């Protein structure tokens, strides 16, 4: 990389974020308000309060033997998911596109720890925290809280490195991401986390980083320079981002992608601005649209908007920026947020229904409507044993299918690996660099290394997704799903048969649990939920963390005879280029084999089977708990006096009312949510 470009990028970034002393504040600072996001946070808090009330009720009922202990864990899981719900926005773009300035404008103030970061290779996450602090997370999994000064020392590209090649230091950096927590940022305190990516145009791990950023994101802001919009690199990156957001579907527009043309103030003429807007809109909203939905393309000056915010003034640039933030806020709250709230309410309601069914059963036992004979008690104990056997059987079947599936998966990998050399060689013929193969050989090698990693990442993505989402594993997963469906059907039938003899309410809560399993795992609709691009990301990150492919390594691998031929002029520039490309491919693939990617893929395949077994086992455990709870309540009711049973019934009536009150509160939240 040309060092002058690096210094210019760093200078542009710093220049785009002037220090506070440059602003002469003549008016009160204009607050950046995110009212709709705050409203969503209020709904989330109300939902969590409902979970807490439900937890207290279930715990009270469990302590007295009226509800299952499994419900306590279920409500805890729901509560944890609600508490951890955050909107995650990823900001992507090339170097020097004003990402840090945009971030400051979104937050409404200049964040020292962001604006002073030079061009670095790691991801930066801004989130809410009770106090200001910096957390450094390393690629080996370690993390530590560090003072900002120490982070600057670690993260700043050294002058010596800058004089050489930026990409070398980016790929060797031990830091994976930096997390900044701040208590006073309006956007972050409204439940939003912002992920600021490094400039991705020259980054050797571009594909792995974008996959990591996009895995759990709610919205993506892609920033381009309006004065030189949508370079070919940006167009390629946008196409890749769209595909990743759509989980591998290449030709569908992404609903959660915002394309923002920054530095619109640098385009002076009105005609020029119209041309820029038409050019960008034609590409992202044309015949093969990149984005879907209303107000997904915006043109701003992040710096002018930040100036207006800090100075308390208002102009066209601030209004354009506010139009962008309102579109983003509307998408987060209405499109993404409403779905999250409705899903959480559905989960809480399912638990409440279970509780009401089981409390009704407890009342019937106290009223002596349910009487269990010794013969029926023996049958119940027998069915508890059978249910435990089903769980063991299911795990055994899953292990057998997992081993059987590993054979075609390994064969597919071996075939892919066998063709990888020729595939990468063919791809290397299209590699291009402006660097001299004699005078700038290290920079030339780094260019080829970056292109090798890009092409290898694409090949790994294709192979992982082919193994997971094609017919290679489908028949084995379908066999397991069929076994799960049959076992759950048998359990449900036995419960229904017992209900005919003993009028319990078992079938209702068990039906709710089994329905949830069917919705989440059985059938093609959700066959590959939770895998695919995330799995490819995991392997890609392992590859790039351990590939160890640098210009120094490649140079050390080049034969001494080649150097002599270069000096004697026996090899032309094309010959040197070809030999370097071959050596990059050779060393890169050799190092790839040392990482044992096939074992990583095997673990991912295993996790698909394990997730299904875990969910089915949960249903079986609940069936067993229902049997055991019925026997315990029956024995307890027989030992109580009439007065004790009447007191128990009054207590149950009170708890039923409390559950119904939580239900009513959920209906109120849902009605508000639908009109966000």
Task: Quote the distance between the C-alpha of residue 517 and its chain's center.
Answer: 22
Which pLDDT does position 297 carry in this prediction? 94
The 3-state DSSP class for residue 443 equals helix
pLDDT in tens, 63-82: 998 998 889 999 999 999 89
When mean pLDDT is compared across 242-246, 406-410, 465-469, the lowest value belongs to: 465-469
- At 10, the pLDDT band (50, 70, 90 cuts) reads very low
Average pLDDT over residues 376-403: 90
| Cα distance between residue 371 and residue 652, in whole Å | 19
Which pLDDT does position 640 carry in this prediction? 87
Which pLDDT does position 244 carry in this prediction? 80
Q: Calculate what percentage of the chain has a pLDDT beyond 90.
A: 21
Helices (H), 470-532: 471-501, 507-520
Check pLDDT > 70 for residue 176: yes
Which pLDDT does position 296 carry in this prediction? 93
CB environment 18-35: b (16+ within 10 A), e (fewer): beeeeeeeeeeebebebe
Which pLDDT does position 2 carry in this prediction? 40
pLDDT in tens, 193-242: 988 877 665 555 655 666 677 777 899 999 999 988 888 888 888 888 88
What mean pLDDT value characterizes the chain?
Answer: 78
3-state secondary structure 62-96: HHCCCCCCHHHHHHHHHHHHHHHCCEEEEEEECCC
284, 300 Cβ separation under 8 angstroms: no
- At 159, the pLDDT band (50, 70, 90 cuts) reads very low
pLDDT in tens, 97-151: 888 888 888 888 776 444 444 445 567 888 888 888 888 888 777 888 888 766 5
End-to-end CA distance of the chain: 48
> What tokens does 444 get?
């030339």
Q: Please, what sign has the CA dihedral across residues 616, 620, 621, 626?
A: positive
When mean pLDDT is compared across 24-38, 122-136, 229-243, 448-462, the lowest value belongs to: 24-38
Average pLDDT over residues 359-378: 86
Which pLDDT does position 394 carry in this prediction? 92
Average pLDDT over residues 568-586: 73
Q: Calculate what percentage of the chain has a pLDDT beyond 70.
A: 76
- Mode of pairing for the β-strands spanning 123-128 and 192-196: antiparallel
């Amino acid at each position: 990389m040309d060092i002058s470009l690096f210094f210019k990028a760093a200078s542009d970034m710093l220049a785009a974020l002037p220090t506070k002393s440059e602003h002469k504040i003549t008016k009160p600072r204009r607050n950046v308000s995110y009212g709709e996001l705050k409203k969503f946070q209020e709904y989330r808090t109300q939902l969590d309060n409902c979970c807490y009330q439900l937890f207290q009720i279930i715990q009270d009922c469990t302590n007295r033997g009226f509800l299952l202990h499994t419900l306590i864990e279920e409500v805890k899981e729901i509560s944890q998911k609600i508490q951890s719900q955050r909107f995650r926005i990823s900001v992507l773009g090339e170097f020097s596109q004003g990402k840090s300035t945009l971030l400051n404008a979104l937050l409404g103030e200049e964040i020292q720890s962001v604006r002073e970061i030079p061009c670095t290779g790691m991801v930066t996450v801004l989130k809410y925290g009770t106090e200001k602090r910096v957390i450094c997370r390393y690629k080996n999994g370690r993390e530590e809280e560090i003072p900002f000064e120490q982070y600057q020392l670690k993260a700043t590209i050294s002058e010596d490195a800058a004089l050489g090649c930026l990409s070398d230091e980016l790929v060797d950096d031990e830091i994976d991401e930096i997390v900044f927590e701040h208590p006073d940022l309006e956007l972050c305190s409204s439940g939003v986390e912002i992920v600021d990516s490094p400039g991705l145009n020259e980054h050797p791990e571009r594909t792995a980083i974008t996959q990591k950023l996009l895995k759990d994101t709610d919205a993506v802001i892609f920033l381009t320079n309006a004065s030189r919009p949508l370079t070919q690199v940006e167009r390629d990156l946008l196409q890749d981002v769209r595909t990743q957001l759509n989980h591998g579907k290449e030709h569908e527009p992404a609903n959660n992608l915002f394309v923002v043309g920054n530095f619109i103030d640098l385009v002076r003429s009105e005609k020029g601005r119209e041309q820029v807007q038409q050019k960008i809109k034609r590409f992202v909203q044309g015949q093969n649209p990149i984005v879907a939905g209303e107000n997904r393309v915006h043109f701003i000056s992040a710096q002018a908007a930040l100036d207006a915010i800090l100075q308390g003034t208002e102009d066209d640039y601030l209004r354009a920026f506010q139009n962008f933030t309102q579109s983003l806020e509307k998408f987060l709250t209405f499109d993404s947020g409403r779905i999250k709230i409705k899903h959480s309410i559905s989960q809480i309601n399912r638990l409440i229904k279970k509780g009401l069914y089981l409390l009704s059963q407890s009342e019937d036992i106290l009223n002596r409507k349910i009487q269990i004979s010794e013969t029926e008690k023996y049958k119940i104990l027998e069915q508890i044993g059978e249910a435990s056997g089903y769980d063991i059987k299911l795990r055994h079947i899953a292990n057998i299918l997992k081993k059987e599936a590993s054979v075609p998966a390994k064969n597919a990998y071996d075939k892919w690996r066998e063709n990888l050399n020729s595939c990468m060689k063919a791809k290397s013929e299209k590699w291009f660099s402006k660097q001299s193969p004699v005078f700038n050989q290290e920079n030339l090698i780094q260019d080829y290394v970056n292109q090798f990693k890009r092409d290898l990442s694409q090949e790994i993505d294709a192979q992982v997704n082919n193994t997971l989402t094609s017919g290679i594993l489908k028949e084995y997963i379908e066999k397991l799903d069929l076994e799960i469906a049959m076992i759950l059907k048998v359990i449900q039938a036995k419960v229904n048969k017992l209900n005919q003899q003993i009028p319990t309410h078992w079938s209702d809560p068990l039906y709710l649990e089994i329905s949830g399993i069917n919705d989440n795992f059985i059938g093609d609709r959700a066959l590959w939920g939770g895998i695919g691009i995330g799995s490819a990301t995991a392997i890609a990150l392992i590859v790039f963390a351990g590939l160890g492919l640098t210009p120094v390594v490649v140079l050390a691998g080049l034969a001494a005879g080649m150097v002599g031929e270069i000096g004697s002029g026996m090899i032309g520039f094309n010959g040197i280029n070809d030999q370097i490309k071959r050596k990059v491919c050779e060393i890169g693939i050799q190092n790839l084999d040392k990482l044992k990617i096939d074992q990583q893929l095997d673990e991912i395949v295993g996790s698909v089977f394990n997730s299904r077994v875990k969910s089915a086992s949960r249903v079986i455990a609940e069936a067993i708990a229902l049997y055991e709870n019925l026997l315990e309540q029956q024995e307890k009711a027989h030992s109580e006096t009439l007065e004790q049973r009447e007191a128990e019934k009054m207590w149950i009536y009170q708890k039923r009312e409390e559950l119904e009150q939580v239900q009513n509160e959920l209906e109120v939240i849902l009605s508000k949510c639908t009109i966000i």
